[in-house]
Every structure is written in C-alpha cells, then in structure tokens.
Amino acid sequence: MKKWKINSWKNYPVKHIPEYTDKKELDMVLGKLKNFPPLVFAGETRHLKEQLANVVDGKAFLLQGGDCAESFAEFHPDNIRDTFKVMLQMSLVLTYSASLPVVKLGRIAGQFSKPRSAPTEIKNGVELPSYLGDNINGIEFNERSRVPDPKRLFKAYSQSASTLNLIRAFSHGGFADLKMVHTWNLGFIKKSPQAKKFKELEDKIADALAFMDACGINSDFNRRLKTVNFWTSHEALLLPFEESMTRVDSTTGEYHDTSAHFVWIGDRTRQIDGGHVEFCRGIENPIGIKCGPTSKPEEIVKICNAINPKNEKGKVTLISRYGYDNVGKFLPKLIRAVKKEGLNVVWSCDPMHGNTIKSATGFKTRPFNNVVREVKNVFAVHQSEGSFAGGLHIEMTGQNVTECTGGAQKISDQDLSHRYHTHCDPRLNASQALELAFLISDEIKKNSQYSKNIAQAVS
Ligand code: PEP
Ligand code: CO
C-alpha cells in the first residue's frame, strides 16, 4: 500500500465532485475551514467504534437514519427535534423487543452533498447542471443557482454545528430521559395503530421504572436512564471539504475526519482505485460502505482490507442496498466472501436506495411494502447464512411528509403531491418509520441468531 497523506486522494480518479469555477475562492474557503473548530471530538469517534464493535459481536443493533439531503430551507429546530424523537422511539421499540442496546446514528449535521444519476437536468426543454446538495449549489432551477459556490460550505458548516449543538443538548439535557418517553410521540401519529402499540410500550416502561425507583435505582443516580449517545454521519462525498475537516488527534497522533463521527462511501464512489476509498483508508472514523447490485464481492473484500487492514471490529459497516427482489441474488455471495476472509463487519440494511421508483403521478417514491420486503429478505438471508443482521440504514424524517407510498396511513400516488418536501430522495415519515421499527422487532424475535446472543448475554 502506498503511503497515505491527507491529500493523497487527489492522485486518484474521483467521481461526483464538482468542478468549481473559482478555484481561488474555493482555496480561501477551505483554508478558513481548516481553522474552524472540529465538529466532533476524536474520543467520541473512538467511543462509537467501540459500540459498533458490539454490533459486530451481535450485542447491539445499529440504527442509522435521517434526511436523504439536509437543506438550508428545512433547517428548523422542530425538524431536528422531531427526527431525534422518532429515532428515540424506534430505538426504544428495538431495544425492548430484542433486549439489545441500539447504537443511534443520525444522517444529520452534515448530510448535504449528493451524487446524482445524471449530470444535468432538463425542464421544459431547458438543460442545466443537476442540483448537487445545498453545500454545493442551489435547488432552484436557474443557471445562477446551479453554479457550485464554495461559500455555501460556510453555511453548511454553521448549520451542522448548530444542529449538533441541539442534538447534544437533547441527548444530555433531560429530553432523552426514559421518564419523558410519553413526550416523544408526535402529534400526527397519535391516532395510528403504531401509536397505540407505542403507548403499550410506554406503560410497560413506566411500570419498570416505578419498580426500579422503588429499589432505589433512578435517573438521579444512573445517568444512563436519562441520557443517550446520539452520533452523526454523512456520505464522505465532497472530499475537499472532508479533507479540510480532517485533523490530527493530539492525544494519539491519528487522523480523524472531525466533520462527523461516522462517514460512508456511496455506491457510486466505492471504486477500489478511486479517491474516496483512498481518503477513507487514512482516517480513524468508522466507515460505511454501500453495497449495491453492481458491487462485486471480491471488490468489497479488497475495499474492507484497504480500509481496515488490522481487521478492527467496528471499523467497517457494510450497508447492503440491493432492492427487495435482488437481495437473494447478491447478499449471500457477499456474506460468504466476507466470511471466507474472516473480516469483521457490521451488516446493515438500507432498504431505501434499491427501491426507488417513479409514481404514476411523476414523483420519485418508494413503496413502503417494498422497503419492508427488503428488510425481511435481508433478515432471512442472514438467518440462513448464520450472520448477524445488525443494522438498519433509512432515509426518514419526523415530519408528516407524503413521500413514500403505503404504510398504515395508506399514502397513495395521488397523495404524494400533498407534502412532498425532500430535496433529494423520498423519506419515510414518522408513522412509517415507527411502523418499520415494530416490524423489525418482530423479525428480530424470529431470528435465532438474536436468541443465541440474548441467551449468552443473560448467562
Ligand atoms: C444515499 O445514501 O443517499 C445514497 C446516495 O445512497 P447510495 O450510495 O447507496 O446510492
Ligand atoms: Co438518498
């Protein structure tokens, strides 16, 4: 392996990074960002890696979720709060049913840049460069807004910092206290079947807390009852930005990308000889690798070895995203190749990106049923291969949007236009996300791998 440097990725071909016309301005912005405070601290990143090592061992479950693309327009404390609430609710459902701790990882506080399937977009005969994410260009369909503007990086940094600040406050300031569980429910799902199920769970938790309180165990004495660890993640796509946020940790001398705790390499940029893999192999952060239908098992093995030469547990998360009807064709082969090499990985399932279709009404959507099918198929494959289905990666929001069809609210093609707010891919709304958590908890109960782990944990 060639020696890694913070900018050695520049010696490799890179995809999906925009050409900035004003290079001087880009350098000025990146130069300033290099001196901005890190968004996360290296010690936190190490802590997350330890938690992910538990997922590798089947002792915890990973829940990763948030917007497909964060935007400047949707930046609002209520949106952050509601995404946080749904993640807490989903975690509680999963923890309760599987008796496993849930590692909570937001696609938040930095998830801006997007790889696009086409470099340009045509509307009414006018062709313009595609929208690439709010930290690169604007979504408005006019020439000016589509020019990559380096200064957008300042705004994205600032939005990430204040989002993270609020998340830290929620996580440690009392909002996540188990005693507050009844306040996590969102108004618009209160009448849904999931809300009823969640209420039953709330009551059971209240009983358990009352019992523990009577035994002298309560949140005044045990921080873990009133705080949570909530980590941040995004796709490490825009490498000039990621490089500018990468710093040497003074306590260990190691490089950490301080823009988030966890970053992942997308399905379109995971070339073994590409700049994205090169950049990610030098940083200490845990790394996700998206695996789609075009990924060859032997290539994924090579990427794992490049990124994690010491085969450290918790360093690599493989995120499969094949599409519900492709899981059986691709996933077993990947699991076998990874097992043959003895690689330690977290197996996570992204049931969103392989199930995107165009609705009859012209919207990009994902039928909830197909999302559920992919999850079920992935669990079944892991069950038969004897591996641990340890994670879920979803695009979701706490808002009452109508972007994915189906679910208990029975969102139809016609309903999509009502509240379709996403800047990129369609997200599950809070009701659909919670419904998915209940369905997964049923899968977990069925899976012998979990029962084995729970039995081991108890004995
Ligand atoms: C994403 O997670 O938003 C994404 C673009 O996914 P993928 O790389 O799997 O297509
Ligand atoms: Co997406």
pLDDT in tens, the chain (459 residues): 789 999 999 999 999 999 999 999 999 999 999 999 999 999 999 999 999 999 999 999 999 999 999 999 999 999 999 999 999 999 999 998 888 899 999 999 999 999 999 999 999 999 999 999 999 999 999 999 999 999 999 999 999 999 999 999 999 988 888 888 878 877 766 777 778 888 888 888 888 888 888 888 888 777 878 899 999 999 999 999 999 999 999 999 999 999 999 999 999 999 999 999 999 999 999 999 999 999 999 999 999 999 999 999 999 999 999 999 999 999 999 999 999 999 999 999 999 999 999 999 999 999 999 999 999 999 999 999 999 999 999 999 999 999 999 999 999 999 999 999 999 999 999 999 999 999 998 888 777 566 565 555 544
DSSP string, 298-333: HHHHHHHHHH-TT--TTSEEEEE---TTTHHHHHHH
50-60 CB burial, b ≥16 within 10 A, e <16 = ebbbbbbbbbb
Distance 73 CA to ligand 1 centre (A): 21
Pocket test for ligand 1, best of 268, 287, 392, 395 (most atoms within 8 A of CB): 268
Distance 111 CA to ligand 2 centre (A): 10
Distance 286 CA to ligand 1 centre (A): 17
365: how many CB neighbours lie within 10 A of its CB? Answer: 24
Structure tokens at 390: 């340890």
Nearest alpha-carbon partner for 307 in 266, 279, 334? 279
Task: Write down the domain spans for the chain.
Answer: 39-116+155-176+227-458
Q: Which helix (H) or strand (E) holds 14?
A: none
Considering every ligand atom shown, identify the ligand nearest to the alpha carbon of residue 237 and give its number.
Answer: 1
What is the CB < 6 Å shell around ligand 1?
68, 115, 235, 266-268, 290, 292, 321, 353
Nearest alpha-carbon partner for 425 in 369, 375, 352, 360? 352
The ligand 1 atom at the shortest distance from the C-alpha of residue 321 is: 9
Distance 252 CA to ligand 1 centre (A): 32
Phi, psi of 457, rounded to the nearest 5 degrees? -65, -35
The ligand 1 atom at the shortest distance from the C-alpha of residue 425 is: 3
One-letter amino acid of 49: K
pLDDT at site 451: 58
* Domain 39-116+155-176+227-458: CATH architecture, name and number where available: Alpha-Beta Barrel (3.20)
Q: Could you give the C-alpha distances from 312 to 53, 288, 308, 315, in angstroms and in order? A: 8, 14, 6, 6
Q: Could you give the C-alpha distances from 5 to 12, 15, 262, 321, in angstroms and in order? A: 12, 19, 20, 31
Q: Take atom 8 of ligand 1 and give the residue whose Cα is closest.
A: 266
Distance 91 CA to ligand 1 centre (A): 23
pLDDT at site 386: 95
The ligand 1 atom at the shortest distance from the C-alpha of residue 267 is: 8
Q: Which residue has the tokens 């997964």?
A: 440
The ligand 1 atom at the shortest distance from the C-alpha of residue 111 is: 3
Phi-psi region of 378 (alpha: psi -120 to 50; beta: other; left: phi over 0): alpha
Q: Which helix (H) or strand (E) holds 94?
A: helix 77-98
